[in-house]
A and B are shown apart, each in its own frame.
Chain A
Amino acid sequence: MDRIKRFMGKDAKIGYSFLAPALILFALLNIYPTIYSFILSFHKWNGLDPHMDFVGISNYLEIFKDKIFHKALLNTAFFSVFTVVVQSFLALLLAVFIENVRQKKLRAFFRITYYFPAIISPVVVALIWGWMFHPYNGALNNILNTTFFWLSDKRTVMPAILIANLWQWTGYNALIFSAGLQSVPKEIYEAADIDGANAWNKFWHVTIPSLKPVASVVIVTTLINGIKVFGLVQVMTAGGPNHLSEVMTTWLYKNAFGLGRLGYASAMGYVMTFISFILTFIYLKQVNKND
């Protein structure tokens, strides 16, 4: 590496020029909108008037009092936390079962099968599960022989969305755990065997600790994706009958493009991002504390 440096020199110039295309897009599509959004959040604007009205922090104050936002926040939190807990657990379990299969080809078959839902667009998943939960002709009601409105009842609408989401991503995360499981060196298990450990001991004291980094990745990405969820909810219920299944992203979208409240929606975007940062930060702190 040093020889390269000495030979070429002028590394920085070339380095930045190689980075230039990515950096330009980054500035245009990440930095600029973030700043503009911040400014917009202190204004009131419907996007059509020639000028915006500066309103200070009143957008943020209004979010604080917005009952629908509260509902959306609760739904988002419920959705994210529940998904993280249930999905991670199921995915890990699934991974263990998959890796227990002896035949390589059979293992590969199961991996492909479980990954499969993840490649379908979330909005198409929403349509499929919308059909599954359809009150009159849906698969679920056909089997149960009833006409329950799963997607309209306040007790079942969020669980229904959760199920669709679990269906889509559990297998995907199971594969990530599979990779984690396979990367545990066999020697550790052998050492545990010598110490007289049984299967449960090995699982609890060798496997689980070794999976901590992988589990961390799975948990954080699932959490972030849970907060960002949009297409699935928007298409399955559009925020549910009367905001019952509203999540932060759908409510933001309604405010921005339905109600023409661009400043308010921008403020909401910031609050949402702030919350997601806090959650991630808290989680990461927890993980590092326990080490």
Chain B
Amino acid sequence: MKKIKSLFSNMNYLVLIIGTVITMYPVLWVLVSSFKGRREFAKDYFFPAGKWHFEHYVQAWVDGNFGTYYFNSIFVTFFSVALGILFASLAAYAFTRLEFKGRNIIFYAFLATMMFPPQLGLIPLFLIFKKLHLLNTYWALIIPYTNGAIPVSMFLLRGYFKQLPYELDEAAMVDGANHLTIFFKLILPMSKPVLATTFMMTALGTWNEYLLALTFIQDEALKTLPVGIIEFQNQLAVNYPMLMSGNVLSFLPMVLVFIFLQKYFIKGITGGALD
């Protein structure tokens, strides 16, 4: 019996290790290949044979305009997510601490929007932004991204606010606080964990967004990273290792954030249910 048990447990590890290899291989292959010499790529060994070419990264950064893309992505993501969470948390406060008609219907209506394909509203949005001369400005992304961050944030925050005890609210009210004060000075400070998690989850989706960024921004100076990297791939044709270094540059930021803050990402989808 012990033998069977240990056989199963070894198989367990084996499967998990194979899975890990499958998961990591594509990324590692791209990473290692980005250090190969330009003509080496045609050969099929895994590691670069001679010296490791770090200059591809410099060239990619400069030619590929990555500095601009990084800045635009950071700027747009940060503002959209901050605004979105602010609006969503105000709404979540209303959903959990105020009684009014349609409270639940409105909440579910927000959630329902996650079911709709973005393509449905894409054309009208494009037309209205065009009319308002907002195309090729940061607003063309910040406005929809803020809206996009709201349903998920609302869901997470409402769940969390519901668990915060009302006694604290009541105590504050006895001291003469109004709802706005309670919201900013009591509820929000107590919600740091869920705010951090929500921030990470919505920032991830916003950072990686492609469809709207592709459609609304044509101006090179304002492009975000996903659009930029595709741009980069399409223009420079033959230097594969350099193209791959551009690829690495495009996923590097989020990977670093993930490695250091992974607990927030995991919490975001498991609701703290994992030990």
List A residues at the B interface (Cβ < 8 Å). Answer: 1, 3-5, 7-8, 11-12, 14-16, 18-19, 21-23, 25-26, 28-30, 32-34, 36-37, 40, 47, 94, 97-98, 100-101, 104, 110-117, 119-124, 127-129, 131-132, 136-137, 139, 142, 145, 167, 171-172, 175-176, 178-180, 182-183, 224, 227-228, 230-231, 234-235, 249, 252-253, 256-257, 262, 265-266, 269-270, 272-273, 276-277, 280
Contacts and interface: CB of A to CB of B under 8 A. Distances in A.
Interface stretch (B52-60, B116-124, B188-196): B116-124
Interface string B68-105: 00000000000000000011101101100111110100
A124 B226 contact: yes
A15 B99 contact: yes
B262 A127 contact: no
A124 B250 contact: yes
Interface string B215-240: 10000000001100110010000001
B interface, over-half SS: helix
Among B29, B116, B128, find the residue whose CB has the most chain A CB atoms closer than 10 A.
B116
A34 B120 CA distance: 7
9 contacts: A4-B170, A15-B94, A19-B94, A22-B90, A34-B116, A116-B255, A120-B208, A128-B247, A131-B33
B119 A272 contact: yes
Nearest to A131: B30
Contacts of A277: 115
B173 interface: yes
A136 B44 CA distance: 10
B119 A230 contact: yes
A12 B15 CA distance: 56
B150 interface: yes
Nearest to A129: B26
B39 to A, nearest CB: 11
Given A4-B166, A120-B251, A249-B119, 9 more contacts: A4-B169, A15-B94, A26-B150, A30-B116, A111-B274, A115-B258, A115-B262, A124-B229, A272-B119
A115 B119 contact: no
B100 A22 contact: no
A116 B258 CA distance: 8
B62 interface: no
Contact of A256 (B122, B146, B254): B122
Please classify how large the interface on chain B is, using the bins under 10, 10 to 19, 20 to 34, 35 or more: 35 or more
A64 B248 CA distance: 43
B266 A115 contact: yes
A282 to B, nearest CB: 14
B120 A25 contact: no
- By Cβ-Cβ distance, the 7 closest A-B pairs, closest first, are A33-B121, A121-B208, A179-B270, A179-B273, A142-B44, A15-B100, A36-B124
Contact of B150 (A22, A33, A97): A22
Contacts of B124: 32-33, 36-37, 40
A120 to B, nearest CB: 5
A171 B62 CA distance: 35
Contacts of B147: 25-26, 28-30
Given A40-B124, A98-B16, A25 B116 contact: no
Contacts of A178: 270, 274
A110 B87 CA distance: 36
Contact of A19 (B9, B91, B183, B265): B91
A123 B143 CA distance: 22
Contacts of A172: 269
B262 A40 contact: no
